[in-house]
Amino acid sequence: MKNFAHINARSLDEAVTALQRYGKRAAIIAGGTDLLGKMKDEILPAYPEALVNIKTIPGLNLIEEKKGTLSIGALTRLEDIAIDARIIDGYPALAEAARRTASTHLREMGTIGGNICQDIRCWYYRNQNNRFACLRKGGGRCYAIDGDNRYHSIFGGSVEQGCYAVHPSDTAPALIALDATIKTSRRSIKAEDFFQVSVAKTTVLDDDEIVTEIQIPKPAGTSAFVKFALRKAIDFPIVNCAAMVTVSKKKVTAARICLNAVYVKPYRATAAEDAMKGKAINEANAEAAGAAAVSGARPMPYNAYMVQIAKTMVKRAILGCA
Amino acid sequence: MPPICPYCSTTFDAVDKLKTHIIAEHGAEPLPRPEGLIDLMVNGERYELQVEPNVTLYTVIHDRLGLTGVKMFCDRGACGSCTVIMNGRPVLSCMTLAIECDSATIETAEGIAAAKHPLIETYVKHHCMQCGYCTPGFVVTAKALLDRNPNPTEEEIREALSGNLCRCGTYPQHPKAVAEAAKLLQGGEGGTR
Q: For residue range A180-225, what is the model confidence (pLDDT) as tens digits?
A: 999 999 999 999 999 999 888 899 999 999 999 999 999 989 999 9
Best A57, A104, A127, A235 member to test B by mutation, with max B CBs in 10 Å, is A104
Which stretches in chain B have pLDDT values below 50? none
Q: Which of B52, B76, B90 sits opposite A104 (nearest CB)?
A: B90
Residue A230 DSSP class: S
Rounded CA separation A170/A225 (Å): 9
Rounded CA separation A250/A261 (Å): 31
**pLDDT confidence of residue B172:** 96
**pLDDT confidence of residue B190:** 63
> Would you call B53 and A5 a contact, using CB atoms and an 8 Å cutoff?
yes
Return the number of CB contacts < 8 Å for A and B: 81
Which residue of chain A has the CA closest to B156? Answer: A104
Q: Which of B36, B53, B75 sits opposite A4 (nearest CB)?
A: B53
Which residue of chain B has the CA closest to A1? Answer: B54
Q: Which strands, in side-by-side order, build the sheet including A211-217?
A: A63-66, A69-73, A211-217, A181-184, A188-190
Q: Which of B35, B90, B97 sits opposite A105 (nearest CB)?
A: B90
Which residue of chain A has the CA closest to B85? Answer: A105
Closest approach of chain B CAs to the CA of A36, in angstroms?
6
Length of chain B: 193
> Would you call B163 and A106 a contact, using CB atoms and an 8 Å cutoff?
yes
Best B58, B81, B162, B165 member to test A by mutation, with max A CBs in 10 Å, is B162
Contacts of B149 in chain A (CB under 8 A): none
Q: SS in 3 state form for A69-115?
A: EEEEECCCEHHHHHHCHHHHHHCHHHHHHHHCCCCHHHHHHCEHHHH
- Phi and psi at A222, nearest 5°, equal -100, 155
pLDDT digit string, tens, across residues A30-46: 999 999 999 999 998 88
Residue of A170 and A128 predicted with greater confidence: A170
> Would you call B91 and A233 a contact, using CB atoms and an 8 Å cutoff?
no
Which residue of chain A has the CA closest to B78? Answer: A234
> Would you call A4 and B83 a contact, using CB atoms and an 8 Å cutoff?
no
**pLDDT confidence of residue A291:** 98
**pLDDT confidence of residue B192:** 54
Which residue of chain A has the CA closest to B59? Answer: A1
Residue A23 DSSP class: G
pLDDT digit string, tens, across residues A296-308: 999 999 999 999 9
Question: Interface of chain B against chain A, CB under 8 Å?
Answer: 35-36, 52-54, 56, 75-78, 80, 83, 89-92, 95-97, 99-100, 141, 159-164
Domains annotated on chain B, with CATH: 1-32 (3.30.160), 37-111 (3.10.20.30), 115-185 (1.10.150.120)
pLDDT class of A56 with cuts at 50, 70, 90 = very high
What ipTM goes with this model? Answer: 0.94
Q: Which of B89, B99, B163 sits opposite A103 (nearest CB)?
A: B163
Mean pLDDT (whole number) for A234-253: 96
**pLDDT confidence of residue B14:** 87
> Would you call B92 and A4 a contact, using CB atoms and an 8 Å cutoff?
no
pLDDT at A265 over 60: yes
The CB density around residue A61, as the number of other CB atoms within 10 Å, is: 16
> Would you call A109 and B141 a contact, using CB atoms and an 8 Å cutoff?
no
Contacts of A79 in chain B (CB under 8 A): 89
Contacts of A53 in chain B (CB under 8 A): 97, 100
Q: Which of A4, A37, A232 sits opposite B54 (nearest CB)?
A: A4
pTM of the prediction? 0.93
Best B75, B81, B87, B91 member to test A by mutation, with max A CBs in 10 Å, is B91
Closest approach of chain B CAs to the CA of A116, in angstroms?
18
